[in-house]
Structure 1
Amino acid sequence: MKISVVGTGYVGLVSGTCFAETGINVTCVDVDDKKIEKLNNGIIPIYEPGLEDIYKKNVEKGRLVFTTNLAESLENADALFIAVGTPPDEDGSADLKYVLGVAREIGKNIDHYMVIATKSTVPVGTSKKVKEAIQDELDKRGVKVAFDVASNPEFLKEGNAVQDFLKPDRIVIGTESKRAQKVMKRLYKPFLLNGHPIVFMDITSSEMTKYAANSMLATKISFINEIANLCEIVGADVESVRKGIGSDPRIGNKFIYAGTGYGGSCFPKDVQALIRTADEHKYSLEILKAVERVNNRQKSVLFDKVLNYFDGDLKGKKFAMWGLSFKPKTDDMREAPALVIIEKLLAAGAKVCGYDPVAMEEGKRILGDKIEFAKDEYDATIDADALLLVTEWPEFRIPNFRVLEKLLKNKVIFDGRNIYDPEELAELSFDYFAIGRKPVKH
């Protein structure tokens, strides 16, 4: 089989590479000349564990190629996956100009039956617009070419996207015809060997499934953060509460870790887009609006603790920050809590020295010379007034606290991910502040 994947971001590049891994011939398309040039020269523009190895293997075998020519990629293709960006518009709705732009290009060049599947996260009703855009271009050409549209949302976690694609817990596909269903089932057959299901449904339900899934996960995060904040007020420990509720299989133990709020390319954008979709249909999603408010507030919680500790005066003080990416195993800093905390510290007259195992280049691109960038985690703490742990990278989990007490001006740690043991830090005479836990003070 042969497919085309339009868009070489996280979703497009991971999807195309993993499809190639099963023996399918894949052409990845992007309008960015520089990105395609890099990919053709062995340079991957994103950081994703495990991706580079299978990318190189499939390029060498000729199953994975990259081009800026969409028309060329359509030749003999059985399916095309749209995986371009859908950034939030000013009103929070998903911007579909890139998706519909691809649809129009398909309509201008398609000459045989294929399935056009949308992998980009798009609002309910988008597949209908894609179909209309393709058909409109066919009508302009005065030709009749059969095609089907499908919705095939992705459920990839950054930092684990390759394994999520190769060993999916479920595959969701929305189709309108048995013919399209047959093509999609054949494409995904190699990924079903682990026994997990492929779920076929109507297109509208498929589009809704993606937003509903991410919104539910975002809701769990904001819920536990609300509970964490209340725990601090009443003197409870959110880590104990988390274990207590997480043992209930109806709740589960995932996505109930208190912290500085969610970020990344999906949750913030998808919650906003679903809220907007409901508003357009004159229905208010009150729970999700609260989820968004709580998350925005939560990104400031660690800064508020710092400000309170130093009696409201941060001018001239230096803070070490461990972690810049919105989560471990990625260099993605979109909507990262670190960015909010940094801006607030700088606005208060403080200085920041940051370190991240992977996101240093991305940090420099976004922040420029606003902050210092350290060569390693301990370098960041030299003469710092306090340490802020913002992203729970594995290498930050068991630091040498004896080294830290020599490097830091003050023995104080603000833990935005609750990864340290308060009792251990108490024994070492550190002041320690976490999320939803009793502070340790000396």
Structure 2
Amino acid sequence: MLDVKWIRENPEAFVKGLTDRGFESPQGTLNHILKLDEERRETIQTLEEAQASANTASKAIGKAKQAKDEAEAASLLEKVAGLKDIIQDRESAKRLLDGSLRELLAGIPNMPADDVPVGEDERENVELRKVGEPPAFDFTPKQHFEIGEELGLMDFETAAKLSGARFVVLKGPLARLERALAQFMLDLHTSEHGYTEVNPPLLVRDDAMFGTAQLPKFREDQFAAGDDYWLIPTAEVPLTNLARDDIADEAKLPMRVTAGTYCFRAEAGAAGKDTRGMIRQHQFYKVEMVSVTTPEASAEEHERMTACAETVLKRLGLPYRVVVLSTGDMGFGARKTYDIEVWLPGQGMYREISSCSNCGDFQARRMNARYRPKDRKATEFVHTLNGSGVAVGRALIAVLENYQEEDGSVRVPAALQPYMGGLTRIEAPK
């Protein structure tokens, strides 16, 4: 959520930020915010003046009674009663204006960082680097679902009977491969990258989803689980909310946490996209990284987090590229995002496997997550960052497609073999 004071003092930057993000009616939105803000500040001023007058009159009542001036005391009592009516009215008006302003701000995206490329969509994303060479095959490489189904270890038909479209049943070595990938990533991030592993709840309340900006704007993309409960769309939600309503000591920052969890997304806006296979599912496994740090350190932390996710792909021997997202392709709460896209030979293209975002203080304001600088008394909002470290299901897809053999078997990357009980090749059950 954006700071109203910043909007009031930087109206041109606000309009430009919304325009660059393709937000509808930036100037009209600004005017609406400023109008509500002005009414709110005027209401607060009237309220404070009435409260001050009431306090002064109350003290005067005591003095009038001490002086046995009953007429003056009665007059002052009448004045206080009138002021109480004004105070009650202004308090009610302030609550309504606070709610209206909060509701309006809740639907406004974060401002993009100055170095984010301006563009309408993914076509304006900018490639930063490519790492690794796509493998050369002397046969036509297959897509992951062809490999998995021919192995008899990936079953979409049974999953559809159980749960409908966009689910899968993994069996035998493929089920173990998914588990191995998650364990490998978590071990890497905790033992080498300084993250603390967390096992968070998969059900969260409304305020947690609001804090990381899944609610209210993206309600249709979520799975509700009863009154005031939601299945998490990503572990970013519970991990980032660990800092909610807290004031951290600067010396304890950055806070770096990671978790491997199932994630649940309705994919309401994905009709017709990636209907075959495991690319886009309602339920999937992902290892998530979250950092909470100071404003001065967040840009460097963003680069560090992205490098941690890249290390996963380097250890797995998977070719990939890193792109910086344009203003039109960036997520709602992000001020800058790097996408890591892994090469999929079966599709002959790079596909997203990790998205690392610096959200600045956007989520922190929604969560009231603050820290106390060592050289100042006043608290400040922290900066929050999140990134896939990486999406486990998509890593499984990438391993299947990049390590496939002509006979339909799949080689197991060396980094995963200890997690696979020494298995070096996945073959169809005999």
Determine which structure has greater relative contact order: mean sequence separation of CA pairs < 8 Å that are 6+ residues apart, divided by chain length. Answer: 2
> TM class by shorter-chain length?
under 0.3
Q: State which structure, 1 or 2, has the greater radius of gyration over its C-alpha atoms.
A: 2
Give the TM-score taking structure 1 as reference length. 0.26
